[in-house]
Amino acid sequence: MITVFWAGFWTFLADQASKYIVVHMLNLRLRGELDIFPPFLNLRMAWNYGVNFGLFSQSSNLVRWGLIALALIICMAVLWWVGRDRPGRIGLVSAGLLIGGALGNVVDRLLYGAVADFINMSCCGISNPYAFNVADIAIFIGAFGLVLWGGTKKAA
């Protein structure tokens, strides 16, 4: 479980550091946008009050606290799963990525009331209107890794 802890810790730290730099040091919350390598990589400030692509973003306290509770329940379930059905190293790292990313977004909801999304990527004439963050990347990779390398026990 130490692998899960360290993968989660470094993921959480990278996520929160990137958000601090972008939101506060680059002042993206007031600036709104910053082109880094257009159109491929841009910073676009977006406050996500819901889940992916703004689903359930009524910005009510009930939704906010419900999403915080859901993220914490998922983190506990993943810890229980990898503790019970011990995956290999890649599975443990995947669990840490998912947990670290989820906790990073939980901290945003506690601090700001919403998740700070800021990475925007477009390509080949297609303009992507959505933004994401380091935690979202980690959650996606972690979930994908758990599907592929999540454990050895098979369903009955």
Exactly one of 15, 35, 108, 136 is catalytic; which is it?
Answer: 136
Exactly one of 15, 35, 108, 117 is catalytic; which is it?
Answer: 117
Instruction: Classify each residue of 25-47 as buried b or exposed e, where b means 16 or more C-beta atoms within 10 Å of its C-beta.
Output: eeebeeeeeeeeeeeeebbbbbb
C-alpha–C-alpha distance, residues 120 and 40, integer Å: 8
* Residues with Cβ within 8 Å of residue 141, at least 6 apart in sequence: 94, 97
Token match 């390509």: residue? Answer: 123
Is 136 tagged catalytic?
A: yes
Q: What is the DSSP letter of 155?
A: P
Residue 105 structure tokens: 């977004």
C-alpha–C-alpha distance, residues 64 and 48, integer Å: 10
Query: Which residues participate in catalysis according to the annotation?
Result: 117, 136
